[in-house]
Every structure is written in C-alpha cells, then in structure tokens.
Amino acid sequence: MTESADQGLLRVVGMWSAIITAIISAVAFSVAATTPPRTGPFAAPGTAIAYPYSVAVRFVPGDFVWMYLALAMMLSFLVLAVCIRELGVGRRLFGTAGLTLAAASFAIVAADYFIQLRVVQPSLIRGETDGLAIFSQFNPHGVFIALEEIGFLLAGLSFCFLAFALGSTGLEHWTRGVLLVSSALVIVSFAGLSLAFGLGVEYRFEVAAITIVWLTLTVVGVMLAFVFARSRPRS
C-alpha cells in the first residue's frame, strides 16, 4: 500500500518534533540545573537573597535564560502531543485527553515564564519593585512557583493519557512504560511532598516535577523519533 500524504507528513512532523523536544529538553535541563537557587531550601548557606528580592537585578538576564529554552521545549512537546494523538488512530480518546492536558500545561507554563521575561526582568532593571515579590521566580512560595506546579502536574497527567494513545508493539510498548512511570512519579511526588511539608513545601515539588518531566521528554523524545520514523498507516 502506498503511504498516504497525511501519513508521510505525520512521520516527518512527529519524528522532528520528537528530536527537537529531546534536544531542547536536555539543553534546558542542563542550563536550569546549573542556575543556582537564590532563595528557599536549596540555596547555598549564606547566599540566599532576602525579601523583597530586589537585589535579584544582579542576576538579570543570567538566571532567566533557561526560561527561553523551556518555552521552546513546551511548544515542541505540544506539537509532539498532537502527533501522538494522530498516530493512535484507534485510541484518539486517550490521545485527545493527553493533548488537552498538554495544551493546558503549555498555556500555564508559557504565561508563567513570559511574565518573568517581559514583566519581572524589566521591572527589576528599572527598580520598579513595588508589589513585584509575589510574582518573582525568586519567591519560593510565590505565584511563579504555584503556576509551575500546576503546569508540570498537568504535563505529568498528560503523559498517562498519551501513553495509552501509543500502540503495544516494539518501541511503543517501552515508550508507554516510561511515560506511565513518569506520570506516576509526578503525582506521587506532588502528594508526598505536599503531605510532608504542607504549606512549607515551597519549590520542592517544582524541582521534582521539572526533573521528572524534562528528563522524560529527553528520553521519550529519542524513543518517539524512532517510533514515528518507522510508523505505517493504521486503521
């Protein structure tokens, strides 16, 4: 059977979105992991900056670079989620649920990071810091952290549904397993850290979620690149 134009397009877009997601996720995670925390439980002793975090102007733009990469990563993940949905023709119920959650995750995280890049950065540089602390990424229990938490929690939930949109043969089986384990880890870490620290959880879950989600996208991106490269029309 001759491969249809739509199937050929799906293979190309799916493969390249998977490759791009894997690469950007790996780079973004490396940059974020090497950006030292300035406040909260993981800040090095004696280095934490104090509320209202106005001295954070010293760390502009260095501490914000990883967000540009993360925005690109979330966009490529959204495109990848669309391709996964289309790949699982007979399982679009799961694919649609996963895509919807991925879209919600992208929208929340994109808005969160865009505020940091286009509001917090220039406000710090110009000394316009009144009321800024609640939105700053340097606030360990601020709006930035809360939006990241819900954004990456939704990404973790999307993994579960996208996993079941995949087939059950070969590499798809193993990719499904990675996605399901990752989804479970995100949910368990959210529940466990919330119970352990209560209102004092600060950015502990955010760090856990970023680690799980971004490393998963790196690994799964590589696996899905091969899945799409080998894909054939399905009924």
Q: pLDDT of 86-120, one tens digit each? A: 987 778 899 999 999 999 999 999 999 999 999 99
Band of the pLDDT at 1, cuts 50, 70, 90? Answer: very low
Rounded to a whole number of angstroms, the CA Rg of the chain reads 19
Q: What percent of the chain has pLDDT over 90?
A: 90
In angstroms, the CA 39 to CA 49 distance is: 6
Mean per-residue pLDDT over the chain, rounded: 94
Q: Taking residues 176-202, report their average pLDDT.
A: 98
Report the pLDDT value the prediction gives residue 227, as an integer from 0 to 100. Answer: 95
pLDDT at 143 over 60: yes
Q: Is residue 13 part of a domain?
A: yes
pLDDT at 3 over 60: no
Q: Is residue 234 part of a domain?
A: no
Report the pLDDT value the prediction gives residue 54, as an integer from 0 to 100. Answer: 95
Neighbours of 150 (CB within 10 A): 16
Taking CA atoms, 7 is separated from 27, 51, 73, 117, 230, in Å, by: 30, 54, 24, 38, 11
Give the number of C-alpha atoms closer than 13 A to the C-alpha of residue 109, restricted to the C-beta side: 30
Band of the pLDDT at 234, cuts 50, 70, 90? Answer: low
Q: Taking residues 27-32, report their average pLDDT.
A: 97
Q: Is residue 235 part of a domain?
A: no
Q: Is residue 49 part of a domain?
A: yes
Neighbours of 216 (CB within 10 A): 21
pLDDT tens, position by position, 45-81: 999 999 999 999 999 999 999 999 999 999 999 999 9
Q: Is residue 55 part of a domain?
A: yes
Residue-range definition of the domain harbouring residue 26: 5-229
Report the pLDDT value the prediction gives residue 128, as an integer from 0 to 100. Answer: 96
DSSP state of 54: G
Q: What percent of the chain has pLDDT over 70?
A: 97
In angstroms, the CA 155 to CA 222 distance is: 18
Report the pLDDT value the prediction gives residue 169, as an integer from 0 to 100. Answer: 81
In angstroms, the CA 190 to CA 134 distance is: 22
Taking CA atoms, 21 is separated from 17, 170, 216, 227, in Å, by: 6, 21, 10, 14
Report the pLDDT value the prediction gives residue 235, as an integer from 0 to 100. Answer: 45
Residue showing tokens 């940091």: 116
Number of domains in the chain: 1
Q: Is residue 96 part of a domain?
A: yes
pLDDT at 147 over 70: yes
pLDDT tens, position by position, 4-14: 778 889 999 99
